[in-house]
């Protein structure tokens, strides 16, 4: 597509529930990133995929968070046993360059706003 598409745009869930957030990157972009943005803060890195593999997952806060990108395109961020502190906007970005290339220009989606009640 023309841009990075994220669904759902808004998700309200109850504490303890499981949620999945989906990201469709720009066609042909090999790199995909998940960031989390809390109110009034800058985006914080969660995980980075190069192709199908997670090249860097050091930003995932704990083992309740997991992300996959099975075919090297669409990615799903999965959150188990959600907590109120998980409430945030989850941003996905993609870029066309590989890990060891020059500066990567990231294109962000509009985000998925997660509210845990």
Partner 1 sequence: GENVEQHPSTLSVQEGDSAVIKCTYSDSASNYFPWYKQELGKGPQLIIDIRSNVGEKKDQRIAVTLNKTAKHFSLHITETQPEDSAVYFCAAILTGGGNKLTFGTGTQLKVEL
Binding residues vs partner 1 (CB under 8 A): 4, 31, 33, 35, 40-45, 48, 55-56, 58-59, 91, 93, 95, 99-111
Task: Measure the CA–CA gap between 103 and 13, rounded to whole angstroms.
Answer: 37
Helix runs in the chain, H state only: none
Q: Of 38 and 80, which has the nearer Cβ to partner 1? A: 38
Output the six-digit token pair for 35.
Answer: 């960031």
Q: How far is the CB of 108 from partner 1 (least distance, A)?
A: 3
Q: Of 62 and 100, which has the nearer Cβ to partner 1? A: 100
Could you tell me how far CA 15 lies from the centroid of its own chain?
20
Q: Of 80 and 115, which has the nearer Cβ to partner 1? A: 115
Task: Measure the CA–CA gap between 7 and 26, rounded to whole angstroms.
Answer: 14
Q: How far is the CB of 25 from partner 1 (least distance, A)?
A: 12
């Amino acid at each position: 597509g023309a841009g990075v598409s994220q669904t759902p745009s808004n998700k309200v869930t109850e504490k303890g529930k499981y949620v999945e957030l989906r990201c469709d990157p720009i066609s042909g972009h090999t790199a995909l990133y998940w960031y989390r943005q809390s109110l009034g803060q800058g985006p914080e890195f969660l995980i980075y995929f190069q192709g199908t593999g997670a090249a860097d997952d050091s930003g995932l806060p704990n083992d309740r968070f997991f992300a996959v990108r099975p075919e090297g395109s669409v990615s799903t961020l999965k959150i188990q046993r959600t907590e109120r502190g998980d409430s945030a906007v989850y941003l996905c970005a993609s870029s066309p360059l590989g890990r060891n290339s020059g500066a990567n220009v990231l294109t962000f989606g509009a985000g998925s706003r997660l509210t845990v009640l």
